[in-house]
Amino acid sequence: MKLHEYQAKQVFADAGIPTPPSQLAEDVDGVLSAAGEIGYPVAIKAQVQVGGRGKAGGIELVSDDEEAREAADSILGMDLKGIHVDRVLVEGAVDFVNELYVGVTMDRGEGKPVAMVSTKGGVDIEAVAEETPDAIVREHVDPAFGMHPYQARKAVYDAGVDREVARDVASVLTTLYELWDDRDGADAEINPLMVTDDDEVIAADAVMNVDEDALFRQPEIAEMQEEAASGDELEQKADEYDFDYVRLEGDVGIIGNGAGLVMTTLDLVDHYGGEPANFLDVGGGAKAERITNALDMVFSDDNVESVVFNIFGGITRGDEVARGINEALEAFDEIPKPVVVRLAGTNWEEGMEILNEDLVTVEGTLESAVQRAVEYAEEGQA
Amino acid sequence: MKLHEYQAKQVFADAGIPTPPSQLAEDVDGVLSAAGEIGYPVAIKAQVQVGGRGKAGGIELVSDDEEAREAADSILGMDLKGIHVDRVLVEGAVDFVNELYVGVTMDRGEGKPVAMVSTKGGVDIEAVAEETPDAIVREHVDPAFGMHPYQARKAVYDAGVDREVARDVASVLTTLYELWDDRDGADAEINPLMVTDDDEVIAADAVMNVDEDALFRQPEIAEMQEEAASGDELEQKADEYDFDYVRLEGDVGIIGNGAGLVMTTLDLVDHYGGEPANFLDVGGGAKAERITNALDMVFSDDNVESVVFNIFGGITRGDEVARGINEALEAFDEIPKPVVVRLAGTNWEEGMEILNEDLVTVEGTLESAVQRAVEYAEEGQA
Amino acid sequence: MSVLVDDDTRVVVQGITGGEGEFHAGQMIEYGTNVVAGAVPGKGGQEVHGVPVYDTVDQAVREEDADASVIFVPPAFAGDAIFEALDTELDLAVAITEGVPTQDMAKVNKRLTETDTRLLGPNCPGLITPGEAKLGILPGNIFAEGNVGLVSRSGTLTYQVVDNLTNRGIGQSTAIGIGGDPIIGTDFVDALSLFEDDPETEAIVMCGEIGGEDEEEAAAFIADNVETPVAGFIAGRTAPPGKRMGHAGAIVSGSGTGTAESKIDALNDAGVPVGDTPEEVADHVEDLL
Amino acid sequence: MSVLVDDDTRVVVQGITGGEGEFHAGQMIEYGTNVVAGAVPGKGGQEVHGVPVYDTVDQAVREEDADASVIFVPPAFAGDAIFEALDTELDLAVAITEGVPTQDMAKVNKRLTETDTRLLGPNCPGLITPGEAKLGILPGNIFAEGNVGLVSRSGTLTYQVVDNLTNRGIGQSTAIGIGGDPIIGTDFVDALSLFEDDPETEAIVMCGEIGGEDEEEAAAFIADNVETPVAGFIAGRTAPPGKRMGHAGAIVSGSGTGTAESKIDALNDAGVPVGDTPEEVADHVEDLL
């Protein structure tokens, strides 16, 4: 779960990392009053979670009321890579001489946290990682001990950070690690960490991704989640229903249990010439209501022309799935789009007995179910 | 550094460990008013750091004002194993059905922390450890990970704690470990941890010893240290001077550098028929002032008839030692007791040049220095 | 003719008094698994399905000589339950729980370097040696005894592939679901190495998916160390880069590795035929046997 | 004719810009020790006694091929400095610092199980191979080249015993001060085993003191594993039970072990003569040679 910049900055500032003064604003007047309090020049930054905000016109540096009004007018309400901008962060501009990068993430391959420092901050750090990997110093952390102070120093000195600010940068990195550790971070990054000409360091941006599986013990972060919710309506609905859902471009709706099996179903739709409309994993052990919600999700996507329901029961039981499908479809006067069902595994026979076959098309294998759904979608488009 | 019971109880209570209601009192009125607020019966407990307070008459259970007044009168001002009692803790008496023991300490042999639980609480736990070692369950903790919750449960269930209170006892043990860890504990113990007939657990005593070497990062504990100061005047003086000092029964005062060498000097005093008056280690790298303080310490002990000064310089320099001895002794019109000096190691020649040999007896070897001091002491007693 | 578990394996079920734990303990027993104990703090002395429950795993191991554990404990307590299992003398701990916080698993991962107990999972379906024992939630009836070893990151995809094999009369020596979380115990390389050392396993099926580099590493391991023939499957060919597909494993980094293409190429380079569909995987296995 | 260090040992001094660090780095160099670098955060690029200073130990090891470190860092930062040393490719780290919090050392002790770097100390005088190298604060002029290995828990007691030996013309192969803290790196058994394996060490002196059970363990080790003759000394015979004498090691638990008597008995049982005075120890060594 990714925090908005303004949320992450607050979390960082509370932990003692220096950040510029800033205020959130929702309209032009708010922007002007914030800028007045902070003092020009200020940056006006769209609070949407898309990459490359700056290049897309979502960040402007302004030095008086007139410029601020103009920038606020243009950014508030704009559509940034498909997301509507309804809030901006007004932030004191920092006069910097250097831009650094510091970050903490989980190195999945090593199975341990890694702290990173680079003097090539302020740019696309993924590109730096790709093109000049040695420009990013990586220090792995033993999660039982946590990050030792010397490790922060080692990363900072090895990265070639100036000796004048090295201690402060090491201290920011240490705090960032502790934050990442305390808050169940997935990634925590500052890019750029600006260095001013009087050797102050200040976090000009803030990224904080939190492990969704740990939100139960991060109540403050969980509270931020609502505010941080994605702009896409369908994805918001998926959040509410607590589904793993990804919207795609095609017309064959897909529902299944287990990421691997659902991905395989997508692959087969492609294999048989169709185009998947979505990825939707109901997870393990879904009960009837969850199945009903899944159908609701998929039908909410106007692009969908057919649905394939592929359940291989382990922990999930075929009878519950059948009950859910019946309930969902019996609520309609007319079934919106054809639904193909394939049930296997735990209690599949019981499921088949329960399933109202007037409402769905039943197939015995994954391959035939997908082929049938692709055919239906082609008919729908025709 | 050992906290008083009332200080340790406060620390434990702040961490969420249930303790009985209690108030500190310094006079009879204070005891009565505290007892009035808490409600009878209460225990009146002398706040002195000696073992076996109860047996020595330092703890009394009273059930009305009259008994309280009598007990307060007898305990306040009493001399408990050589320590004057000037404060008592007035504490609500707990009606218990069982007494447990829980503790956390450093297992020096293993080099790791160990959590302990026993159902034989309420008695001398050292005796239990000696006689029925299996009655104390020991769970070693990996200090990098800290104590896992399952470890607390394992210790508690293996000790045979009743299932009705096991979860609460495990929770107390977990908190005790965290406290011990956060506060740089040497030992943290609750004996007894009382179990009431409605299955509540409550810490009826509290022991907390803190690593003196870690006091620099435990400001709250360090502040308690003054209040917790030992009752012995000479040992208080040693605390002020920051010496490792132990007062003994004999008449040969001993000053040296390094615990092993000082102990060896004591052993030699004994070997040559004398009796050591004290152990005093000035530590490594002592400067002149510290040497002056050491002589002041030893002369403050009225039993002392002679002093042997044995310095083998490594980090400590002979010239500094000589300067300190001169300063200390030149301040007297008459040297109080004969001082024998033996200097070796770093800068011993420079020291010998500086040393005012009119004020001291110089010896070239440890053995001869000790023998001479023993002779002086015998002459002094004669 | 199996790896890791057989009908001698003595199983303790952590969380046996919870809904899932009780249900699947029953299913395991029904399948013939030798479930000898349960472990649930505070429930010691009870019985579930006729099996004695202990307060701690250690007690269960001591009293019932358990040598493997299956963990059905809610995610908030699963990390602790895994540590509890790892700190006994068990040979194998199987963590079924889905949704264990990644930082908890990083700590577990550290402990794994210090213990001889093997971990499978978390967020995995467990493993099964058909006809002998199943430890986990796999639907026993789709498996058949045989000589194909199967290892998979995905639970339900495993069932799908097994179904295709069994329907053709191809049985399995052991099927291992390693789980799809970012940090897991037993990985592809571990499982491949177990099957390679098992004289009765005559072919191996490896089902991977997009994200991470485990399949690439497995391919390199196969090229150097595995003589038993291997057939592969990779889920997620059509997943768009940068999108998260279900569990955390399924993120395509877009940086060359981690994509379906990179994994399939690596496997092909190691001489492993990769099927486009589960049916094609079964075709390949038939060819290899 | 030495263990652990000789004139090839390349030494980095952690904390070389502090008062003690600078003084003793000078003393070490004067003695002939090959001090190749200092390490102090923020002081990289400076020089002390003509030796280059680096910001991190890792840089010093990389740039100057250091293989041993001596740590003069204040107690609050010493634990971190020890970790820094242990996490490089150094063979040996010697921690002189007195007053390192015990819980910091418990964590260090855990790391020692995971690294190949040997730790000596903390709160120790270091070690010396007379005529070749000294790492630490021992006064070099009292030592003489020879064939007696010495290991001691106490710094100044070491000097005393060495003085008695040198005065009789008995030189030392290497003298090792292991330190008296509750948790230390190299212990008696480690040091005894090094001397036993050194063909040039013809006798060993072991100086212990009251508290703990290290001397008892060492005695058992000697009985089973050490053929080189050993003489012993135990400080604290007259210490009253329950009193703390200086550093934390010197607590007599009163429970049978840890007392001077128990240690002397254990050593005698292992065939080790124990002197009543440092002079007597020298007598024993003369007999053993």
Q: How confident is the model at residue D254 (pLDDT cuts 50, 70, 90)?
A: very low
Q: How confident is the model at residue D126 (pLDDT cuts 50, 70, 90)?
A: very high
Question: CA angle at residue A16 from A12 to A21, to 5 degrees?
Answer: 70
Q: How does pLDDT run across C73-86, given as a tens digit for each residue?
A: 999 999 999 999 99
Residues of B in contact with A142 (CB under 8 A): 144
- The catalytically annotated residue of B101, B177, B245, B376 is B101
Cα separation, A168 vs D132, in Å, equals 41
Same domain flag for B248 and B376: yes
Whether residue A228 contacts residue A3, with contact meaning beta carbons closer than 8 Å, is answered with: yes
Same domain flag for A65 and A167: no
Please give the residue of chain C at the shortest CA–CA distance from A368.
C279
**What pLDDT, on the 0 to 100 scale, is given for residue C248?**
39
Question: CA angle at residue C159 from C13 to C5, to 5 degrees?
Answer: 40
Q: Is C98 annotated as a binding residue?
A: yes
Instruction: Note whether residue A359 is domain-resident.
Output: yes
**Identity of the residue in C58, C59, C80 whose CB atom sits nearest the CB atom of B148:** C80
Instruction: Note whether residue C2 is domain-resident.
Output: no
Contact A150 D83 (CB under 8 A): yes
Domain count along chain B: 3
3-state helix/strand/coil string of chain A: CECCHHHHHHHHHHCCCCCCCEEEECCHHHHHHHHHHHCCCEEEEECCCCCCCCCCCCEEEECCHHHHHHHHHHHCCCEECCEECCCEEEEECCCEEEEEEEEEEEECCCCEEEEEEECCCCCCHHHHHHHCHHHEEEEECCCCCCCCHHHHHHHHHHCCCCHHHHHHHHHHHHHHHHHHHHCCEEEEEEEEEEEECCCCEEECCCEEEECHHHHHHCHHHHHHHHHCCCCCHHHHHHHHHCCEEEECCCCEEEEECCHHHHHHHHHHHHHCCCCECEEEECCCCCCHHHHHHHHHHHHCCCCCCEEEEEEEECCCCHHHHHHHHHHHHHCCCCCCCCEEEEEEECCHHHHHHHCCCCCCEECCCHHHHHHHHHHHHHHHHC
**What pLDDT, on the 0 to 100 scale, is given for residue D243?**
61
Same domain flag for D178 and D272: yes
**What pLDDT, on the 0 to 100 scale, is given for residue B288?**
85
Task: Confirm or reject contact between A81 and chain C (CB < 8 A).
Answer: no
Same domain flag for C156 and C107: no
Chains that touch A (3 or more CB pairs under 8 A): B, C, D
Q: Encoding tokens for residue A227?
A: 């505010």
Contact D106 B111 (CB under 8 A): yes
Q: Enumerate the active-site residues of A.
A: 101, 189
Same domain flag for C55 and C155: no
Same domain flag for A170 and A46: no
Cα separation, A120 vs D189, in Å, equals 51
Same domain flag for B238 and B179: no
**Identity of the residue in D20, D182, D238 whose CB atom sits nearest the CB atom of B266:** D238
Chains that touch C (3 or more CB pairs under 8 A): A, B
Same domain flag for D234 and D182: yes
Q: Encoding tokens for residue A309?
A: 């329901």
Q: Which of A105, A140, A142, A312 to mutate to test the interface with C (most CBs of C within 10 A)?
A: A312
Answer yes or no: is pLDDT of C254 > 50.
no
Q: Is C31 annotated as a binding residue?
A: no
Instruction: Note whether residue B275 is domain-resident.
Output: yes
Instruction: Note whether residue D134 is domain-resident.
Output: no
**What pLDDT, on the 0 to 100 scale, is given for residue A109?**
86
Compute the count of residue pairs across chains B and C with CB atoms less than 8 Å apart: 38
**pLDDT, average across residues C177-186:** 94
Q: How does pLDDT run across B93-136, given as a tens digit for each residue?
A: 999 999 999 999 999 889 999 999 999 988 778 788 888 888 99
Q: How does pLDDT run across B298-318, given as a tens digit for each residue?
A: 999 999 999 999 999 887 888
Same domain flag for B46 and B110: no
Contact A109 C139 (CB under 8 A): no
Domain count along chain C: 2
Residues of chain B contacting A, Cβ within 8 Å: 142, 144-145
| C62 Cβ neighbours under 8 A, 6+ residues apart | none
| B222 Cβ neighbours under 8 A, 6+ residues apart | B215, B216
Instruction: Note whether residue B301 is domain-resident.
Output: yes
The length of chain D, given as a count of residues: 289
Output the domain CATH number for residue A279. 3.40.50.261
Same domain flag for A201 and A307: no
**What are the beta bridge partners of residue B203?**
B193
Answer yes or no: is pLDDT of C256 > 60.
no
Same domain flag for B79 and B113: no
Same domain flag for B366 and B240: yes
Instruction: Note whether residue C16 is domain-resident.
Output: yes
Instruction: Note whether residue C101 is domain-resident.
Output: yes
Instruction: Note whether residue D132 is domain-resident.
Output: no
Answer yes or no: is pLDDT of D160 > 50.
yes
Contact A106 C157 (CB under 8 A): no
Q: How does pLDDT run across C263-288, given as a tens digit for each residue?
A: 999 999 999 999 999 999 999 999 99
Task: Confirm or reject contact between B108 and chain C (CB < 8 A).
Answer: no
Answer yes or no: is pLDDT of B220 > 60.
yes
Task: Confirm or reject contact between A55 and chain D (CB < 8 A).
Answer: no
Shortest CA gap A150–chain D (Å): 6
Answer yes or no: is pLDDT of D60 > 90.
yes
Domain termination site, one of D120, D147, D182: D120
Residue ranges of B for the binding site for ATP? Answer: 45, 52-54, 91, 94, 99
Rg of chain B, C-alpha, whole Å: 25
Helix axes A28-38, A65-75, angle to 10 degrees: 140
Same domain flag for C71 and C173: no
**Identity of the residue in D106, D158, D210 whose CB atom sits nearest the CB atom of B112:** D106
The length of chain C, given as a count of residues: 289
Please give the residue of chain C at the shortest CA–CA distance from A284.
C98
Same domain flag for C170 and C248: yes
Chains that touch D (3 or more CB pairs under 8 A): A, B
Compute the count of residue pairs across chains B and D with CB atoms less than 8 Å apart: 172
- The mean predicted confidence, pLDDT, of chain B is 91
Task: Confirm or reject contact between A164 and chain D (CB < 8 A).
Answer: no
Shortest CA gap B165–chain A (Å): 25
Q: Express as a percent the part of chain A with pLDDT over 90.
A: 71
Same domain flag for A369 and A239: yes
Residues of chain A contacting B, Cβ within 8 Å: 142, 144-145
Same domain flag for C116 and C147: no
Compute the count of residue pairs across chains A and B with CB atoms less than 8 Å apart: 5
Contact A150 D56 (CB under 8 A): yes
Count other Cβ atoms within 10 Å, centred on residue C229.
18
Instruction: Note whether residue A14 is domain-resident.
Output: no
Same domain flag for B214 and B332: no
Same domain flag for C89 and C177: no
Same domain flag for A351 and A249: yes
Q: Express as a percent the part of chain B with pLDDT over 90.
A: 72
Residues of A in contact with D58 (CB under 8 A): 154, 158
Domain termination site, one of B178, B195, B222: B222
Domain that holds residue C97: 11-120
Domain termination site, one of D85, D120, D155: D120
Domain that holds residue A58: 21-92
Same domain flag for D279 and D161: yes
Cα separation, C92 vs A19, in Å, equals 48
Task: Confirm or reject contact between B150 and chain C (CB < 8 A).
Answer: yes
Task: Confirm or reject contact between A157 and chain D (CB < 8 A).
Answer: yes
Output the domain CATH number for residue B43. 3.30.1490.20
Shortest CA gap D158–chain B (Å): 8
Same domain flag for A78 and A208: no
Instruction: Note whether residue D126 is domain-resident.
Output: no
Output the domain CATH number for residue C206. 3.40.50.261
Output the domain CATH number for residue A126. 3.30.470.20
- The mean predicted confidence, pLDDT, of chain D is 93
Cα separation, A311 vs A346, in Å, equals 10
Cα separation, B307 vs B305, in Å, equals 7
8-state DSSP, B160: T
Interface list for A 332-351 with C (CB within 8 A): 344-346
Contact A266 C159 (CB under 8 A): no
**Identity of the residue in A109, A284, A346 whose CB atom sits nearest the CB atom of C213:** A109
**What pLDDT, on the 0 to 100 scale, is given for residue C257?**
63
Q: How confident is the model at residue D113 (pLDDT cuts 50, 70, 90)?
A: very high
Residues of D in contact with B263 (CB under 8 A): 154, 209-210, 235-236, 238-239, 245-246, 250
**Identity of the residue in D41, D59, D107 whose CB atom sits nearest the CB atom of A145:** D107
Please give the residue of chain B at the shortest CA–CA distance from C54.
B157
**What pLDDT, on the 0 to 100 scale, is given for residue B54?**
80
Specify the pTM: 0.93
Shortest CA gap A170–chain D (Å): 11
Answer yes or no: is pLDDT of C240 > 80.
no
Instruction: Note whether residue B51 is domain-resident.
Output: yes
Instruction: Note whether residue B72 is domain-resident.
Output: yes
Task: Confirm or reject contact between A148 and chain D (CB < 8 A).
Answer: yes
Three-class DSSP category at B268: helix
**Identity of the residue in C44, C81, C83 whose CB atom sits nearest the CB atom of B157:** C44
**pLDDT, average across residues C148-172:** 94
**What pLDDT, on the 0 to 100 scale, is given for residue C253?**
44
Same domain flag for D171 and D275: yes
Same domain flag for C152 and C269: yes
Q: Encoding tokens for residue B301?
A: 């002990």
Q: Is C21 annotated as a binding residue?
A: no
Output the domain CATH number for residue D46. 3.40.50.720
Cα separation, B129 vs B111, in Å, equals 19
Contact D41 A153 (CB under 8 A): yes
Q: Which of C238, C257, C274 to mutate to test the interface with A (most CBs of A within 10 A)?
A: C238
Instruction: Note whether residue D90 is domain-resident.
Output: yes
| B18 Cβ neighbours under 8 A, 6+ residues apart | B172, B200, B201, B202, B203
Domain termination site, one of A178, A198, A222: A222
Domain termination site, one of B92, B114, B131: B92
Same domain flag for C187 and C81: no
Q: Express as a percent the part of chain C with pLDDT over 70.
A: 94
Contact D41 A167 (CB under 8 A): yes
Instruction: Note whether residue C127 is domain-resident.
Output: no
Contact A150 D107 (CB under 8 A): no
Contact D20 B315 (CB under 8 A): yes
Report residues of chain A scoring pLDDT below 50.
none
